[in-house]
Chains A and B, each alone.
Chain A
Amino acid sequence: MTTTTDPQTDSFHLSQLLYDSRYRSMTIQVVALIGFVSLVAWLVSNTIVNLEALGKNFSFGFLGQRSGYDINQRLISYSSDSNHFTAAAVGLLNTLLVAFLGCILATVIGVTAGVLRLSRNWITAKIMTVYIESFRNIPVLLWILAFNAVMTEGFPSPRDFKGDNATASMLFNDSVAVTNRGIFAPLPIWENGYQIVVIVFLLSIAAIWAFGRYAKKRQELTGDILPVFWIKLAILVLPVLIAYFVLGRPIGLEYPELKGFGFKGGLNIRRSLIVLWLALSFYTGAFIAENVRAGILAISKGQSEAAHALGINPKNTMSLVVLPQALRVIIPPLISQYLNLTKNSSLAIAVGYMDVRSTLGGITLNQTGRELECMLLLMGIYLLISLAISGAMNVYNKSTQLAER
Chain B
Amino acid sequence: MNKSVIFGVLTVAGLAAGTASAATLDDVKARGKLNCGVTTGLAGFASPDANGNWEGFDVDVCRAVATAVFGDPNAVDFTPLTSATRFSALASGEVDLLSRITTWTFSRDVDLKFEFAGIAFYDGQGFLVPKELGVSSAKDLDGATVCIQTGTTTELNLADYFRTNKMEYEPVPIETNAEGQQQYLAGACDVYTTDSSALAATRATFENPDEHVVLPEIISKEPLGPLVRHGDNQWGDIVRWTLNAMITAEELGVTSANVGELAGGTDNPEINRLLGTDGNLGEQLGLSADWAKNIISSVGNYGESFARNVGSETPIGIARGLNGLWTEGGLQYSPPFR
Q: Which residues of A are at the interface with B, using a C-beta cutoff of 8 A? A: 39, 42-43, 46-47, 49-50, 53-56, 68-72, 79-81, 152-153, 156-160, 180-181, 259-262, 264, 271-272, 349-350, 352, 354, 358, 362-363, 366-369, 371
Contact = CB atoms under 8 A, between A and B. Distances in A.
A69 B188 CA distance: 20
A383 B171 CA distance: 29
5 contacts: A53-B20, A54-B229, A70-B162, A71-B171, A349-B175
B1 interface: no
Interface stretch (B55-63, B142-150, B281-289, B327-335): B142-150
Contacts of B231: 53, 55
B241 to A, nearest CB: 24
Contacts of A264: 143
Contacts of B319: none
Given A69-B155, A69-B159, A181-B145, A262 B173 contact: no
Interface stretch (B36-44, B84-92, B256-264): B84-92
Contacts of B144: 260-261
Contact of A349 (B150, B162, B183): B150
Contacts of B230: 54-55
Given A39-B6, A367-B151, A371-B88, 20 more contacts: A42-B13, A49-B20, A53-B19, A69-B155, A69-B159, A70-B162, A72-B173, A81-B163, A152-B186, A153-B186, A159-B187, A180-B186, A180-B188, A181-B172, A261-B143, A261-B144, A272-B172, A358-B173, A363-B155, A366-B83
A69 B159 CA distance: 6
Interface in B144-194: 144-145, 150-151, 155-156, 158-160, 162-163, 169-175, 182-183, 186-190
A46 B16 contact: yes
B187 A68 contact: no
B190 A262 contact: yes
B133 interface: yes
Interface in B204-254: 229-231
B217 to A, nearest CB: 17
B156 A367 contact: yes
Nearest to B16: A50
Contacts of A363: 150-151, 155, 173
Given A152-B188, A157-B187, A180-B188, A352 B173 contact: yes
Nearest to B173: A352
A45 to B, nearest CB: 10
Given A362-B84, A363-B151, A157 B143 contact: no
B109 to A, nearest CB: 11
A66 to B, nearest CB: 10
A261 B145 contact: yes
